[in-house]
């Protein structure tokens, strides 16, 4: 694979973006050289070093593991620039000044190895200006790679190639960014702001303009631009607070200075005295003293919003709620709503969608590029053309025309048609040739969404489904709300195991929800608790244990492929799989203790087994039990798949996929690789420390309790966990079976779930989403 040719990367410029890009390269397991200027003669690498140090403290963390951080080598431009010769890709991420960038490139030309890629992370400067004065060889190797902040978490990468760029080299970088850095690539043209910032800045501007012009409060405005429009939930003022109000004038300035005079943006770009004052006074949003919203700590953490007319903060007021279809995402109804709400919605959507439509083919080759850019770069739930489809292209064109505004050519081209359609199970988009084409997909990508469009499930019930994903592999999908685990899922697992033996070679457990599964359906379980249906709860626990063990001992390989949160029962299913192929952004943990419970679906035994059979870990009954106790009693959650390995939630041989869209294909490949000669695992047996071990664990928690780090009830919960992990009444000489541990788990789980203090914790979690420290 071509990506393998990138063995080392140099990032020049250790600001937020440069450092973040370096971290993501390191997250891919590739060494990085991070350079910046010399500011302190005594410590010439101080700038880059400081950037790495800062990243180690940043939350959410730019690095996925400590090992990744070690892959970043720091240096400075004056002493170490020559070392770019070692690197296969040089990323420039210095300040947005053409003269400085050009000077740097001139120096780079002298030291770099020809044929290796050089890219700029500029967001504003056209490519042809950047390479002015450079050699043909440099121009051949040059491209723009525009990352979004923060580079680890934002999936969009805009790539701009120049007329002289070597297509193979650009593909190589794109491939590396896709497979190794996990980015979705959008190819943009060399136009100001590229795609996402061009549409995004325009959208924010019209949103601000309309709110001021219509005399709306920030809450009223966000109540419309937020949830009903769905792009994104924060609304516009909320978003600007998040990204920083001071960024707005910069983006505005760069666009007004580079866009042609007749571009619509030139007419709408405005500055507001209130916003200028806010920036000058340090009210730059969440990172500053406050923004359009703030939490007033002096007033008992009162939520406040700024009055757009006076600039004074006042208590936040709930905006009147929309009703009817407009509130439920019917955009046509929303823009037709009488009064300010409808006017505001139309002001934003009419302008923004028309503008976005006018950018194909000027800034992007097709509509898909624009939609993907906005969804992944600005967290819009729908892209502009998907939004147009929800209004109706013809309706939008009609209203624009009726108001005497220009109708973009592509809207006319669409006529009565929609921009997207599903034809023969394939999602298609409307091309500039007026015909529909399949939505392009990077090579090797397999999405369950596509499988589902093309086929019927092999099995299905209210909470799960089984799909045929080809080549003899079945895919078990959770379909319950939030992928919460319940009795139905356990039932389907049992059925799936029988069916897969007959008709398939292997099983993948995977879904495309934003989280793999945050565990059991607590609300449902709590309802059973509330009506004292203890027998039902015990059945639910035993049923889950049985389903997971059935999966574990099934006569075919099972590969689980989590992305996002895999907590509680969602983690336990990974522990019972033959292998895991995890998305890099997987947050894995056994969090039951947080709500006063203990893992009840076999998680205790599986974790003990992992640590007992870890060759690098001390032998004997106590060390493994103590390690698992430490991890589980504190409800530890890994902040990445890489970190999950440190806790034993993943094994060294489990795979990590950087690109979310490639996860299913990788998991499937992994499952198929296990088919030949597959034998189900043997049942482990355990030697556990018994009462003495339990007493030791209690002592450890007591010391936390004394320091105020563990609550009274934490002591009780962790002792229950200790009882299971040490084998209950077992003695050092006894052999404890898996079945014994499961019985202990059930007993311990029931003891805790019947406790009022556990019930109080679950109540609190269900009503606030936060743990109760009782």
Residues that bind another protein (CB under 8 A): 523-524, 526-534, 536, 759-760, 763, 766-767
Residue 238 to residue 187: CA distance in whole angstroms:
29
Residue 463 to residue 212: CA distance in whole angstroms:
46
Q: Where are the alpha helices (DSSP H) in 613-682?
A: 621-633, 641-647, 663-673
Residue 690 to residue 699: CA distance in whole angstroms:
15
Tokens read off for 770 = 């936060």
Residue 45 to residue 53: CA distance in whole angstroms:
12
Residues in the chain: 774
Whether 674 and 557 have beta carbons less than 8 Å apart is answered as yes
Could you count the other beta carbons within 10 Å of the beta carbon of residue 774? 14
Residue 195 to residue 123: CA distance in whole angstroms:
10
Residue 636 to residue 194: CA distance in whole angstroms:
41
Vertex 136: Cα angle to 133 and 142 (nearest 5): 85
Three-state SS letters, 50-109: HHHHHHHHCCCCCCCCHHHHHCEEEEEHHHHHHHHHHCCEEEECCCCCHHHHHHHHHHHH
CA neighbor of 221 nearest in space, from 340, 96, 87: 340
Q: Strand 156-161 to strand 184-188: parallel, antiparallel, or no bridges (unpaired)?
A: parallel
How many angstroms separate the first and last alpha carbons of the chain? Answer: 54
As beta bridge partners, residue 426 has 423
E strands of 181-310, at which residues? Answer: 184-188, 293-296, 302-306
Q: Strand 464-468 to strand 313-315: parallel, antiparallel, or no bridges (unpaired)?
A: unpaired
Helix (H) / strand (E) containing 159: strand 156-161
Residue 645 to residue 349: CA distance in whole angstroms:
46
Using DSSP, state whether 495 is helix, strand or coil: helix
**Considering just the CA atoms, what is the radius of gyration of the chain in Å?**
28
As beta bridge partners, residue 474 has 468, 507
Whether 109 and 84 have beta carbons less than 8 Å apart is answered as no
Residue 350 to residue 356: CA distance in whole angstroms:
10
E strands of 590-663, at which residues? Answer: 655-657
Residue 117 to residue 133: CA distance in whole angstroms:
18
């Amino acid at each position: 694979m071509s990506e393998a040719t990138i063995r080392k990367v140099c990032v020049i410029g250790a600001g937020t973006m440069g450092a973040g890009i370096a971290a993501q390269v390191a997250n891919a397991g590739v060494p990085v050289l991070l350079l910046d200027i010399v500011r302190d003669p005594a410590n010439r690498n101080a700038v880059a070093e400081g950037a790495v140090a800062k990243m180690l403290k940043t939350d959410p963390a730019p690095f996925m593991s400590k090992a990744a951080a070690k892959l970043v080598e720091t240096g400075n431009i004056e002493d170490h620039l020559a070392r770019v010769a070692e690197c296969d890709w040089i990323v420039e991420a210095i300040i947005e000044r053409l003269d400085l960038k050009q000077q740097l490139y001139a120096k780079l030309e002298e030291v770099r190895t020809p044929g290796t890629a050089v890219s700029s992370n500029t967001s504003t400067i056209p490519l042809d200006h950047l390479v002015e004065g450079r050699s043909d060889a440099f121009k051949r190797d040059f491209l723009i790679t525009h990352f979004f902040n923060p580079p680890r978490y934002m999936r969009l990468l805009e790539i701009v190639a120049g007329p002289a760029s070597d297509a193979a080299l650009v593909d190589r970088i794109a491939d590396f960014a896709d497979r190794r850095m996990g980015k979705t690539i959008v190819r943009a043209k060399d136009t100001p702001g590229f795609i996402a910032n061009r549409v995004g800045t325009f959208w924010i501007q019209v949103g601000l303009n309309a709110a001021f012009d219509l005399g709306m409060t920030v809450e009223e405005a966000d109540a419309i631009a937020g949830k009903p429009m769905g792009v994104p939930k924060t609304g516009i003022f909320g978003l600007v607070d998040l990204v920083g109000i001071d960024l707005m004038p910069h983006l505005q300035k760069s666009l007004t200075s580079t866009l042609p005079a007749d571009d619509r943006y030139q007419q709408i770009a405005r500055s507001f005295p209130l916003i200028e004052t806010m920036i000058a006074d340090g009210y730059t949003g969440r990172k500053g003293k406050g923004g359009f919203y703030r939490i007033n700590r002096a007033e008992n953490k009162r939520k406040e919003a700024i009055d757009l007319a006076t600039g004074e903060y006042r208590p936040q007021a709930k905006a009147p709620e929309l009703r009817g279809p407009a509130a439920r995402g019917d955009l046509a109804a929303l823009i037709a709503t009488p009064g300010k709400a409808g006017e505001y919605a139309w002001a934003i959507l009419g302008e923004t969608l028309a503008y976005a439509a006018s950018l194909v083919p000027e800034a992007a080759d097709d509509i898909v590029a624009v939609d993907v850019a906005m969804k992944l770069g600005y967290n819009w739930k729908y892209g502009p053309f998907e939004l147009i489809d929800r209004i109706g292209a013809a309706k939008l064109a009609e209203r624009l025309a009726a108001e005497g505004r220009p109708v973009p050519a592509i809207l006319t081209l669409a006529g009565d048609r929609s921009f997207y359609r599903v034809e023969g199970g394939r999602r298609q988009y409307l091309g500039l040739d007026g015909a529909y084409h399949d939505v392009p997909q990077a090579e090797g990508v397999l999405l369950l969404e596509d499988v589902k469009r093309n086929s019927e499930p092999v099995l299905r019930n209210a909470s799960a489904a089984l799909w045929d994903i080809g080549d003899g592999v079945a895919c078990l999908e959770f379909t319950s709300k939030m992928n919460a685990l319940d009795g139905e899922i356990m039932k389907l697992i049992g059925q799936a195991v029988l069916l897969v033996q007959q008709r398939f070679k292997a099983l993948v457990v995977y879904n495309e929800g934003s989280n793999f599964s945050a565990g059991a359906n607590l609300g449902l379980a709590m309802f059973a608790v509330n009506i004292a249906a203890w027998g039902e709860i015990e059945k639910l626990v035993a049923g889950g244990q049985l389903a997971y063990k059935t999966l574990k001992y099934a006569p075919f390989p099972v590969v689980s492929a989590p992305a996002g949160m895999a907590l509680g029962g969602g983690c336990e299913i990974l522990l019972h799989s033959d292998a895991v192929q995890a998305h890099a952004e997987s947050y894995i943990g056994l969090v039951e203790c947080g709500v006063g419970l203990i893992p009840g679906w076999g998680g205790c035994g599986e974790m003990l087994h992992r640590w007992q059979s870890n060759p690098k870990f001390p032998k004997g009954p106590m060390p493994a039990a103590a390690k698992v106790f430490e991890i589980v009693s504190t409800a530890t959650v890994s902040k990445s798949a890489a970190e999950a390995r440190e806790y034993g939630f993943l094994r060294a041989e489990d795979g990590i996929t950087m690109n979310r869209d490639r996860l299913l294909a990788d998991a499937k490949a992994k499952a198929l690789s296990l088919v030949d000669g597959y034998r189900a695992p043997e049942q482990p047996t355990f030697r556990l420390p018994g009462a003495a071990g339990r007493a030791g664990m209690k002592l450890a928690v007591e010391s936390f309790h004394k320091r105020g780090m563990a609550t009274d009830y934490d002591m009780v919960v962790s002792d229950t966990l200790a009882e299971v992990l040490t084998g209950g009444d077992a003695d050092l000489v006894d052999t404890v079976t898996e079945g014994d541990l499961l019985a202990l788990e059930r007993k311990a789980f029931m003891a805790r779930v019947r406790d009022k203090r556990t019930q109080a914790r679950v109540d609190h979690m269900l009503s606030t989403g936060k743990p109760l420290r009782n």
